[in-house]
Amino acid sequence: MKDPEVAERYAEALYSLAQEEGILDRVGDDLAALRALWQTIPEFAQFLVHPLVPVELKQEFIQRALKDHLHPYTLNFLKLLAHKKRLDYLPLIQRAFLKVAEKRGRLVSALVRSAMPLSETDVAKVRKALESVLGKPVVLEVEEAPELLAGAELRLLGRRFDLSLLGRLQALAAELKG
């Protein structure tokens, strides 16, 4: 089981370095792109975390496949994770990086859970509306949650806004019980 404190320490260190160098946005974008790769190409993640793949091979793959797409600091960070055999922490580190940025007032992270897949246009509209209301950049994580039946749920600033059919049905059931 992965220790969240380990992910937080790596995220804090990477955030501090990126802030000192003035590349916070770039490193944040790199981590988001890596997370997207992690989620959409399972073989990418499986290769990087497989215990029988030598560290040197992982580092070489990272260098060759990602050098034209990631900032050199992000690339070196990945190689460090490979060396420490902690590449499986990458999704947790990305989330922790966002939490650090949020704590320092740089952005707001939000989660939208939707019963149906959201189009890129819909995601962009939600992000833009939230940024307009909050006055800060919003990093929006989107999850498909068919159990909601219809509608969506928004988790933002420690609060949950339920606009789903499931939520409405549960509220109605609670009201009927008195």
**pTM for the whole structure:** 0.73
Cβ atoms within 10 Å, residue 42: 9
First to last CA, the chain: 42
Interval 1-54: pLDDT, tens = 788 899 999 999 999 999 999 998 899 889 988 988 998 899 999 999 999 999
Q: Which domain holds residue 144?
A: 107-177
Number of domains in the chain: 2
* Spatial contact of 35 and 91, defined as CB atoms under 8 Å apart: yes
Q: Output the six-digit token pair for 162.
A: 């339920």
Structure confidence at residue 158 (pLDDT): 81
Phi, psi of 70 (to 5 degrees): -120, 150
Interval 55-103: pLDDT, tens = 999 999 999 999 999 999 999 999 999 999 999 999 999 989 988 988 8
Q: Which of 50, 75, 102 is the last residue of a domain?
A: 102
Q: Is the dihedral of CA 161, 131, 36, 119 positive or negative?
A: positive
Q: Which of 77, 102, 127 is the last residue of a domain?
A: 102
Q: Which of 102, 127, 149 is the last residue of a domain?
A: 102
